[in-house]
Every structure is written in structure tokens, then in C-alpha cells.
Amino acid sequence: MIRGKVLKIGAIAIAVLALAAIGGLVFRKQLTHVFVASVVKSNMAKPSPFLEDGLYAGLFGTGSPMPDARRAGPSVGVVAGTHFFIVDAGSGSTRNIRLMNFPIGQAEAILLTHFHSDHISDLGEMELQRWAVGNTSPLDIIGPRGVEAVVEGFNLAYKQDDGYRVAHHGPRTMPPQGAGGIARPFDLGPESDAAVVVLDRDGVKITAFKVDHRPVAPAVGYRFEYKGRSLVISGDTSFSTSLIEHSKGADVLFCEALNASMVKAINDNSASASTKKITEDIPSYHSTPEDAAKMAHAAGVERLVYYHIIPPLPSSILKNLFLGDAKKYYSKVITMGDDGMLISLPANAKTILVKRLF
């Protein structure tokens, strides 16, 4: 009798627990739905960082090929009025475009400084993200001669994936003619400081100019000008008189930087012969923080921002050590670039504003 009651009570308890579990599962599903919807709405409702007319630069990636959890590969977004461009496509930088609320669907072109893998590895993903919002024409990929082969390679690599997406989502959502990129090569003269205007419309002027990244050639930097404001992106270069010449009077110089003593420490502690050879070689075709400071001073720029930082800096404490003697050579403001940083140059003004978007 008692055993029967116990069994009955046990059955009731199991039923109650089962109902509670089912109810809990339903509640968790509802809670998950509400939470996800809230996050999506919050992200979609983020205000545009470009409410004021001007020239903006967003750091999508400030790192290098060396593994760094805090930095994606080199990439800078530039907004000039209503125009949006991307300079280089470093590994992992595409996700930061979304996190910073830059309008990837409105990107007009990607400008490549050179064809090292760490500057082109996210090219296909950027093209795909832009296509996914319904663009009906490929993305322009601007670069020196050789860009044709790069674009052809990415288009071929993504060809099957493009077909899958059209089949799955339909041609109205993913117009087949909008996939991939189209190469827009430019030629530079033989002079070491050769330059060419690659775009000039609606008050936006973009000039490509040679830099010294030998044996990598061609390699270029870019100068952007809009409504009395200007910024320069160095690309990869050692000390370059051409970079000085084409940065003259700019509001901001974004310059790569490699701390040779830190790289030497990696070299000294490496057990790999190939790593030793690479870390022994790379300082020869990059700028040190001091080099960048000297170039910024000679060009008379108003602010120097380091990006494409080599090697990784696992702690913010190391930032001052990374600078070395840079402040001896450049007395104005030096900023250590971080992923998510936005530099704003309001039109026809002198102010330079810096904020972090994540």
C-alpha cells in the first residue's frame, strides 16, 4: 500500500518535473528569441557615425600577420561626404566593418596598396558582404598593375560559393551580376615619387603614390582630400621621401610601424629557422616608429596615427615602449591606432576628433 502511494507520488513528481522542464524549455526559447531580437535591433539602431559632413577614417584592422587577438589585419575605411572606400583587406577586418556600423553595402571601391597576402586576404569576404545587400554590379578593386591577377584569383575561388548563394537565396536577393570584383588597374611612372590621381569627383580626390617596400613593387600609399581636409595612408614602406612629399600639409598620416628591437626579441627566442630568417628580414622594408615620426615631422602633418603595428602588443603597457624615441622627432600628437577607432575631420575645419566605436 505504502509502496503504491510512493510510486504514485513518484509518478506525479516526475510528471511535474517534466512539465516544469517543458515549461522551462519554452521559456528559454522565448527568452532566447527576445534576447537575440533585442541585440539585432540594437545593432541596427546604432546611429551612423557620419552625421556631420567631412572626412572620416575607421580602423578596421591595425595588426600584422603575427597572431594578435586584439587586432585584425591592416584595413582602413575612408568616408568622404557620401562616398565610402576601403584601403586594403587584412585578415579578419571584414567583421569590424559591421561592428563599426560602416555601410559595407555602399562601398564604392577597395584600394590595394600592394599584394602581400596580409593586405588582400579578406578581399573575397568584403566583396561577398557588399553583394549580400543586393548590389547589382561587382565591386571596383583599384590598385597598381598586377591587381588584375589578384581579382581574377578571388573571383575564381568564390565562383562556386557565388552559385550556391544564388541558388539558395534567389537571384532577386543575390543578383548574379553583382558578385565578385572588377579590377581597376592604374599605371605609375618610373620616378620613385611617381603619383597618379585615381579618383576625382564630387569634391573627393584620391591620389596614389609610390612608396618603398622593395623587393615588393609596385607598392603605393594613398592621399584622400575632401572639403579642405586630407589624410594619407602609407601602406607598407620603409623610410620614404615620396611618402613625405605626398603627405605635406595633411591633417593625419596613418603610417605603419615596426619596432625592430621587439622583433629582434622574437628572433632571438625562436626555435624555428624559418621564423628566424623572416624576423631577421622584415625590418628592412618597414618603417620604425621613429621613421614614421621623422616623416610626419618633415611633412608637417597635424597628427600621426600608427596602424599595421608589428609585432603584437599583448598589453597596453607596451604601447609606450613600442614608440621608442618617436616623440623626439615629432612634437605633435601621436596616436596608437586600435581596431574600432574612428578619426573624424569635419569639413572646412581644423578639428581632429578621435573616438572608439567598440
pLDDT for the residue numbered 5: 44
CA gap 330, 326 in Å, rounded: 6
- Our answer to whether residue 118 is catalytic in this structure is yes
Place 338 in a pLDDT band, splitting at 50, 70 and 90.
Answer: very high
**Which of 68, 88, 118, 212 does the annotation list as catalytic?**
118
Place 31 in a pLDDT band, splitting at 50, 70 and 90.
Answer: low
* Mean of all residue pLDDT scores within the chain: 91
Q: Kindly report which listed range (42-56, 109-123, 201-215) carries the lowest average pLDDT score.
A: 42-56
pLDDT for the residue numbered 4: 47
Which string of DSSP letters, residue by residue, matches 254-310? Answer: EEEEE-HHHHHHHHHT---HHHHHHHHHGGGGS--HHHHHHHHHHHT-SEEEEEEEE
pLDDT for the residue numbered 51: 76
Residues 6+ apart with CB under 8 A from 107: 84, 85, 86, 126, 130, 139
Q: Please indicate, yes or no, whether the overall pTM of this predicted structure exceeds 0.85.
A: yes
Burial of 185 (0-12, 13-18, 19+ CB in 10 A): middle
Burial 66-95 (b: 16+ CB within 10 A, else e): eebeebbbbbbbbbbbebbbbbbbbbbbbe
**C-alpha of 272 from chain center:** 30
* Helix ranges (DSSP H) in 63-158: 93-99, 117-120, 123-131, 147-157
From 135, 133, 93, select the one nearest 112 (Cα to Cα): 93
Q: Mind listing the pLDDT tens digit for each residue in 241-278?
A: 999 999 999 999 999 999 999 999 999 998 899 999 99
The answer to whether residue 47 scores a pLDDT higher than 50 is yes
